[in-house]
Amino acid sequence: MKRFPTKQLCRAGIIAALYVALTIPLGSFAFGSIGFQIRPAEALTVLPLFYVETIPALYVGCLIANLVTGTLWDVGLGSLASLVAAALTFATGKLLKNSGWSPVVGGIFPVLVNAFVIPLVLIWSGAAYAGYWFMFASLLVTQAVWVYALGIPLYYAVRALRAKGVSAFCDNRTGEPLEAASKN
């Protein structure tokens, strides 16, 4: 098992805490019980494009936030959907080397995985008020809004901070811009 340095562990804890803090105050609006999810924390799902530690961080953050709902299906499957989507997003970042297309392509996974899985969670937990495909379409749209409308600006902000060498956003020890560190 790979061990994370302290900076990565701290970053993972902060991301998990942010996910919870951006989800729980919204109550039932964040859990799709009204047909769509108001969950701005989904913008954080673009962060696996940069950091491997966000994979478990998003899973843990979603798990803790889903504990509020009290449904076994949401805690299990909803959190697992976040884990799978984060792993696929991370793989996209590695494959595309964080080009300009990375947030667009990487954002597809949190949108699609959640759109396919969360309607099942709502149906099995008895919270569904409509059919699977209606809820799929509703979650596809709302998930895309959070991932793309908030996630893409977040992606470019983190990318700019990494390029400037802001230590908290860089994986190198020197804190110098990543391009300069890679030349040395």
Cα–Cα distances in Å, from 138 out to 34, 100, 115, 133, 160? 10, 28, 8, 8, 33
Region 71-76 average pLDDT: 80
Q: Which has the higher per-residue pLDDT, 122 or 137?
A: 137
User: Per-residue pLDDT tens for 22-41?
Assistant: 988 877 666 655 556 778 99
Given phi > 0 = left and psi -120 to 50 = alpha, else beta, which region is 80?
Answer: alpha
User: How far is 175 from 182, CA to CA, in rounded Å?
Assistant: 12
Looking at every residue in the chain, the average pLDDT score rounds to 85
Region 51-80 average pLDDT: 89
- Look up residue 153 and give its two tokens: 């600006």
Residue 184 has pLDDT above 70, yes or no: no
Residue 130 has pLDDT above 60, yes or no: yes
Least confident window among 42-51, 61-70, 76-85: 61-70
